[in-house]
Amino acid sequence: MTSQPRPPRLLSLDFMRGLIMILLALESAGLYEHLAADTDNTLLHPLFLQFFHHPWHGLHAWDLVQPAFMFMAGTAMAFSLHRQRQQGMTWNYSFRKALKRSGWLFFWGVLDYAVRPGGLSFELWDVLTQLSFTSLVAFLIFRWSVPAQVAFCAGLLLLTEILYRFTHVPGFDQPFTDQHNFGNYVDVLLMNKINPGGWVAINCIPTAVHTIAGVLAGKLLLGDAPKNAPANTPAPNAPPPTPAQKVQRLLLWAAITLALGYALDIAGLTPIIKRIATTSFVLVSLGYSLLVLAACYWWIDVRDHRRRLEFFTIVGMNSIFIYLFFEIVGDRWFTGYTGDITNGLMSLAHVPATVQGIVTSCCVFALEWGMCYFLYRKKIFFRV
């Protein structure tokens, strides 16, 4: 059997993944908190507030990070499954691999929140826990036609609307009110607790749309399909879409989802609320993810502007490792230990306290980036 060439690596995806992880690492290091506090009552303060989640009804730039993360996971899945099929792997093999990966994502997501000062805790709000569900769903419908997958996404959003609006549970019958919605009720059933910040575990249902849409975007960027592809892919003799056509289709879908999402919010039908992943929020955040992917793909992969991207791709290629490191090790030990050293040294030099926090955050991030660089040089890449 003649082996088919592997599809070229999508460098724009590595860049986007690295950018997201760097933003998350800087948040974990506390940089945004210091910048927001140090610029209070200044013109820069509203800018730095964009690095925090919106309290409820509304949208900040930071609210788009997690959807982009799940969207990119879907795009990467499309390339991975395409490669597996070229290598002759069966659906059963790919399914076992996907099931194993979802299991590990669920394990690490639960572990991230499990160890608390007051004891062990079982919580399902971590992004990895959510991704364990959305990635498995995206895999199971991977071979469906594009219209069928789009219809499935619409069904997930419709199901979410029905659950929030028409399940009249006493005390949890206010669809878009914090602490009194159906998502909070499910959390009581699953974990016997409600998240004080308003996050809910069943966000995994509507946000599966992000991962499925990422898969569809990945298929589009792959272009031509193998001859044994399902009926939804172009015929073998049909010319694959050009790079310009791929970008146009991404932009078209971005315009559609943005228009629908903002229309639902402006009309007062479904407010944009990230913490319970309302339909309007899912559509708007998906639109922005598509816009960013289209821009990065055009600039990096099509126009070949690849210089100075290594700073981001080094982190993106070990995204699971660095996420777990700053969430588990960094949050519980590494950040505080590094801060004790840097703040102690700067205090001896009489550096202002406002500057100490920013410098310490940058030092923490630099050390974490250095670990990713070491792994990159040694060609060590952690996968689940």
String of DSSP letters for 120-154: E-----SHHHHHHHHHHHHHHTTTS-HHHHHHHHH
pLDDT at res. 10: 84
Note whether residue 147 is domain-resident.
yes
User: Average pLDDT for residues 208-222, to the nearest whole number?
Assistant: 96
Question: For residue 100, what pLDDT is reported?
Answer: 95
DSSP character at residue 2: P
What residues form DSSP beta bridges with 57?
273
Mean pLDDT of the chain: 90
Around 80, how many Cα atoms within 13 Å sit in the side-chain half-sphere?
Answer: 22
Residue 311's alpha-carbon distances to 246, 303, 373, 383, in angstroms, are 27, 19, 9, 20
Say if CB 212 and CB 149 are below 8 A apart.
yes
Angle at 14 between CA 10 and CA 18, to 5 degrees: 165
pLDDT, tens digit (0-9, with 9 covering 90-100), for 57-86: 999 999 999 999 999 999 999 999 999 998
How many of the other CB atoms lie within 10 Å of CB of 115? Answer: 11
Residue range 19-53, pLDDT digits in tens: 999 999 999 999 999 999 988 889 999 999 999 99
Task: Kindly state whether residue 5 falls inside one of the protein's structural domains.
Answer: no
Domain boundaries, position 179:
11-377
Q: Which amino acid is at 187?
A: D
Establish if 235 belongs to a structural domain: yes
Question: Which is more confidently placed, 318 or 273?
Answer: 273
The four Cα atoms 264, 53, 180, 124 give a dihedral, to 10 degrees, of 110
How high is the pLDDT of residue 135?
A: 96
The pLDDT value given to residue 233: 45
The band of 240, judged by pLDDT with boundaries at 50, 70 and 90, is confident
Q: Where does the pLDDT of residue 6 fall: very low under 50, low under 70, confident under 90, or very high at 90 and above?
A: low
Please report whether residue 345 resides in a domain: yes
Beta-strand ranges (E) seen in 165-299 are: none
Partners of 116 in the beta sheet? 119
E strand spans, the chain: 115-116, 119-120
Does residue 235 carry a pLDDT above 70?
Answer: no
Query: Strand, helix or coil at 40?
Result: coil
Question: What pLDDT was estimated at residue 143?
Answer: 93
CA–CA gap between residue 188 and residue 22 (Å, rounded): 34
Q: What is the DSSP annotation of 337-361?
A: HHHHHHHHHHHHTT--HHHHHHHHH
Q: Residue 72: what residue type?
A: M
**pLDDT at residue 98 in the model:** 95
330, part of any domain:
yes
Q: Tokens representing 351?
A: 């550096």
DSSP string across 66-84: HHHHHHHHHHHHHHHHHHH
As a whole number, mean pLDDT of residues 142-155 equals 96
- C-beta contacts of 110-119 below 8 A and 24+ residues apart: 111/328, 112/324, 112/327, 112/328, 115/332
- What pLDDT does 231 receive? 39
Average of pLDDT values for 240-251? 92
What is the mean pLDDT of the segment spanning 244-258? 96
User: Is 383 a domain residue?
Assistant: no
**293/297 Cα distance (integer angstroms):** 6
State the DSSP H helix or E strand holding residue 110, giving kind and residue range, or none if neither.
helix 91-114
- Alpha-carbon distances, residue 345 vs 218, 244, 349, 350 (angstroms): 48, 54, 7, 9
Dihedral sign for Cα 191, 73, 231, 89, please: negative
Give the count of beta carbons closer than 10 Å to the beta carbon of residue 246: 21
Does residue 6 fall inside a structural domain? no
Output b/e per residue, 42-55; b: 16+ Cβ within 10 A: eeeeeebbebebbe
Residue 238 — pLDDT band, cuts 50, 70, 90? low
Given a cut of 90, is residue 172 above it in pLDDT? Answer: yes
Q: Tell me what percent of the residues of the chain surpass a pLDDT of 70.
A: 94
Q: Is the pLDDT of residue 255 over 80?
A: yes
Give pTM, 2 decimals: 0.90
* Total domains in the fold of the chain: 1
DSSP 8-state code for residue 260: H
Does any domain span residue 4?
no
Q: Which of 4-13, 71-80, 215-224, 285-294 has the lowest mean pLDDT?
A: 4-13
pLDDT at residue 226 above 50? no
